[in-house]
A and B are shown apart, each in its own frame.
Chain A
């Protein structure tokens, strides 16, 4: 299914304030892959994500989502295909109730009301938050907000899910639940994160960024074992790959 393919070719981007963020990023992600984009602060993770659903339009280089190159004309189609979950759920949940927030996207797609309701119920049940549907979003806990934010995107049935730091600010239990939830998805998933343990659990492939370039791209297990690579990219071996300090004190 070619419409689940995400491809970036030689992408450059400079922010309006002159801060250049990307210098020729290329990769290709195929259907059903779960890919982590990791790197130091300011390595360009967020900039890449913003390109994936047209929040930024490529200046030099191309972004292809499925059969379409990302341009202003294909923006609508791309946004229907790629669901973006922002880092701060407060940015994403702006409607007065959870139900209305999840219904917001489908309503904008022009679906009839019955279909919208069906999708909302479906999306909220998938993330296990159906019981909150009449609550105002600002009264939810951090974990609940995150799940609802994911539901707002699921209700548009995207084929590709893009998430910015999905586990930030979550307690360990909520984090674990989120990881389990993401494991059940059949979407192509692209995550930008610092949570390398989650990457190890969830993603078969990892792309390492360094100063706006792809430093490494390969199977997660290989990359996260490569001490030298991790250190030059300001990363660290995930705890689950480090020796236990109690059993084997260094």
Chain B
């Protein structure tokens, strides 16, 4: 359980990163959200055997992490944590797609392996970009900017509440698990039956709390809409950030830069 509790501590660490001051942090969240969305669409839209074309895209997360003064090792660990999902998505490709597409000396590399590598690259790119976005912006600001850009209010509010109460819920869960651990001996009292009743208990507590929160909201005039006073200012720097990156993404999507560079180098050698 200590593990669960500490991984949630990690989330709040991610949150505290967003309170730093840096050129990236000072940007309007909207420009970062749109640029990142642009980035993800460009990365995902490549063909399934693409590898070289993806490499230049590493520029974006690297620049965000460097300028935003974000801890690289921590973010890498977070990426690793999500890696199994991507591995499971791609793991059958090498088994199914056995056509040899490329020869590296005597070793033939099948299309499956190439598409697997491509999936992993895209995974690393997109997840690192989103993590850098959250770490440099903060979850709440992202929700606000979504709302300002026209996402349904209820959607943004759901996300906000999810994030707000995940801390309370883990707190409650870890207290229950601790209470169980203190009275469970030699493996007794840790069985599935106890677990299910704990989950049920947690659900009931969450429902109770939801009801109390709703009451507290009603007492302060809640009428179905959350009003937010946070003012966002979209300035010249934000437009420059957004325009610059999205042009670069389009360019990198249309031109295979490593290929192009390789050709130039080959020409020079010749």
Minimal beta-carbon separation of B14 from chain A (angstroms): 12
- Answer yes or no: A136 CB below 8 A from chain B CBs: yes
Contacts of A89-115 to chain B: CB distance below 8 A:
90-92, 94-97, 99-100, 103-105, 107-109, 113
A: which residues have CB within 8 A of B? 50, 53, 55, 76, 79-80, 83-84, 86, 88, 90-92, 94-97, 99-100, 103-105, 107-109, 113, 116-117, 134, 136-139, 152-153, 156
Q: A88-B212, A138-B167 are in contact. Are A94 and B161 (CB under 8 A)?
A: yes
Point out which of A96, A104, A156 has the most chain B C-beta atoms below 10 A from its C-beta: A96
Is there an interface contact between A152 and B220, defined as CB atoms closer than 8 Å? yes
A-B contacts, 27 of them at CB < 8 A, read A55-B218, A76-B221, A79-B220, A79-B221, A84-B216, A84-B219, A86-B216, A90-B209, A91-B209, A94-B164, A96-B164, A99-B229, A100-B228, A100-B229, A104-B220, A105-B220, A107-B228, A108-B223, A109-B221, A113-B229, A137-B164, A138-B12, A138-B164, A138-B167, A138-B168, A139-B12, A156-B221
Q: Which residues of A contact B138 (CB under 8 A)?
A: 96
Q: Which residues of B contact A91 (CB under 8 A)?
A: 209, 212-213, 215-216
Contacts of B126-172 to chain A: CB distance below 8 A:
138-140, 143, 160-161, 163-165, 167-168
Is there an interface contact between A55 and B229, defined as CB atoms closer than 8 Å? no
- Answer yes or no: B238 CB below 8 A from chain A CBs: no
Is there an interface contact between B218 and A94, defined as CB atoms closer than 8 Å? no
Contact among A100, A108, A137 with B220 in the assembled complex (CB-CB below 8 Å)? A108
State in angstroms the CA–CA spacing of A139 and B213 once bound together. 18
State in angstroms the CA–CA spacing of A97 and B139 once bound together. 11
B69-110 vs A, Cβ < 8 Å mask (1 yes, 0 no): 000000000000000000000000000000000000000000
Nearest A residue to B219 via CB reads A84
State in angstroms the CA–CA spacing of A113 and B229 once bound together. 7
Q: Secondary structure at chain A's binding surface: helix, strand, loop or mixed?
A: helix
Minimal beta-carbon separation of B94 from chain A (angstroms): 44
Is there an interface contact between B168 and A90, defined as CB atoms closer than 8 Å? yes
Nearest B residue to A92 via CB reads B216
Nearest A residue to B210 via CB reads A91
State in angstroms the CA–CA spacing of A150 and B227 once bound together. 20
Nearest A residue to B230 via CB reads A100
Nearest A residue to B172 via CB reads A90
- Answer yes or no: B50 CB below 8 A from chain A CBs: no
Q: Which residues of B contact A86 (CB under 8 A)?
A: 212, 215-216
State in angstroms the CA–CA spacing of A84 and B212 once bound together. 12
State in angstroms the CA–CA spacing of A224 and B140 once bound together. 48
- Answer yes or no: B184 CB below 8 A from chain A CBs: no
State in angstroms the CA–CA spacing of A83 and B220 once bound together. 8
- Answer yes or no: B63 CB below 8 A from chain A CBs: no
- Answer yes or no: B256 CB below 8 A from chain A CBs: no
Q: Which residues of A contact B19 (CB under 8 A)?
A: 134
State in angstroms the CA–CA spacing of A50 and B216 once bound together. 11
Nearest A residue to B16 via CB reads A139
State in angstroms the CA–CA spacing of A156 and B15 once bound together. 29
Q: Which residues of B contact A80 (CB under 8 A)?
A: 221
- Answer yes or no: B217 CB below 8 A from chain A CBs: yes
Nearest A residue to B208 via CB reads A91
Q: Which residues of B contact A107 (CB under 8 A)?
A: 227-229
Point out which of A80, A107, A134, A137 has the most chain B C-beta atoms below 10 A from its C-beta: A107
Contacts of B190-217 to chain A: CB distance below 8 A:
209, 212-213, 215-217
Is there an interface contact between A55 and B221, defined as CB atoms closer than 8 Å? no
State in angstroms the CA–CA spacing of A215 and B145 once bound together. 55
Minimal beta-carbon separation of A79 from chain B (angstroms): 6
State in angstroms the CA–CA spacing of A139 and B230 once bound together. 20
State in angstroms the CA–CA spacing of A136 and B163 once bound together. 11
- Answer yes or no: B234 CB below 8 A from chain A CBs: no
State in angstroms the CA–CA spacing of A95 and B144 once bound together. 11
Is there an interface contact between B230 and A79, defined as CB atoms closer than 8 Å? no
